Structure 1
Amino acid sequence: MTDNFPWGKFHTSDWLTETGDLTPAERGVLITIVCLEMEAGGPLQDINTRLARRCALQAGGFAKIKTALVEMDLLVQSVGMLSSRFGSKMLKQRQDDSAKRQSGARKTNAAKAKKNKKNQYSNERSASRSAQFIQKPESEISPLTPQGEKPCGPNGLSENVKMMAKQEVKKRA
C-alpha cells in the first residue's frame, strides 16, 4: 500500500445505481479491482493472469468479464494499465481530503506556534518582573509592619506581631 489511508469514501447509492445491471461475477470482479486500485494508490498493471488470480477466476473467464466492464465504461484500459471509475473517483476524493487535512494542520500549527510565542513572551516578562522584585534591597521594599521594625522573614516575627500574639493568649486565658 503506497498511501497512509487504507480506506476510501464508498458511496453506496452510486455503486448500486452503476452496478444494478451487472451479474454477480461482474460485480465481484469490479469491487476486487476497485479494492486493489485503492490499495495500490492508483491504476493496476493490466495483466490478465495476475488479476484473474486476485479475482479467484480462470484467466479466460476473467478476460470476458473485463471486456464487458470496459465496454460498459466501468473499467478503463490505457497503456498497459487498468483502472476503474469508482477507484479513480475514490482516490481523487482521498487526495483532496488529505490536502485539506494538511492545510488545516498547517494553519493549526501556525496558530499554536504564534500562541506559544506570545505565552513565552508573557512568561519572560513575568520572570523579569519577579527578578527585579527579588533583586531590590530590603530598604526599597515597603514593609507592612510599623516603621522601624523588620518585616517577617528569615529573622523571625516582628515585635509587633509577637506582642499581638501575647495579647491574644491573655484574652483566651
Structure 2
Amino acid sequence: MNETIRSDAADWSTSPLDREIVVTRVVNADRTAVCQAWTDHDQIVKWFGPEGFTCKTHEIDIRTGGVWRFDMIAPDGTCFSNKMDFLRVDSPRVIEALHGKDADEDPHRFRLLVTFDEQDDGKTVVTLRQIHPTPERRKVVVGFGAVELGGQTLSKLAAHVERF
C-alpha cells in the first residue's frame, strides 16, 4: 500500500470512504484494560475473531514493528491464514497494522486502525477502521459479512474484559 502511517486517528479523516469499513462498540471497562486485551498475547488469542472461531498462533509480537501470524479456524474447521504487521502500537490509544493472509504478497491486505477512547463514565469506545486496497475489494468484504463479523469480534472483546 502506498499510504503513509497516520500520526493519529484524526489523520484518517482524509482516507477514501469508498474503501473504508468502520465498526464501533462501547465496552464496559477502562481503556487501559481494553487496549491490554489487544496487546497482551495471552489475552488476544482467547477472544479474537467472530463467534465460534478460534485462533492458532504461530508467532506473536504485538508492538510497533512486531507481527502476529495465526490461523483463524472457523466452526466447520476451515482454516484461514492471517498475518498482522504492527505499524504502530501506542497503548492505550491506538493500534495500527496491515492485516491479510500469512503470505509474502497479499493484494487484498488492508490497513487496520483500532482506537480506544475512554468516556467520562469509565467505559471505552473501541473503533475498528479498515482501509481496503480498492473499492471493489471493500465491496467483496462487506458482501461476505465483514461488518457483522467485526461486530462479533468486538462483542467477544467486550465479554472478555467485562468479566474482570
Higher helix share goes to which structure?
A: 1
| Largest Rg, 1 or 2 | 1
**Both structures adopt the same fold (TM-score exceeding 0.5):** no
Higher strand share goes to which structure?
A: 2
What's the TM-score once normalised by structure 1's chain length? 0.31
What's the TM-score once normalised by structure 2's chain length? 0.32
Structure of greater relative contact order (alpha carbons < 8 Å, 6+ residues apart)? 2
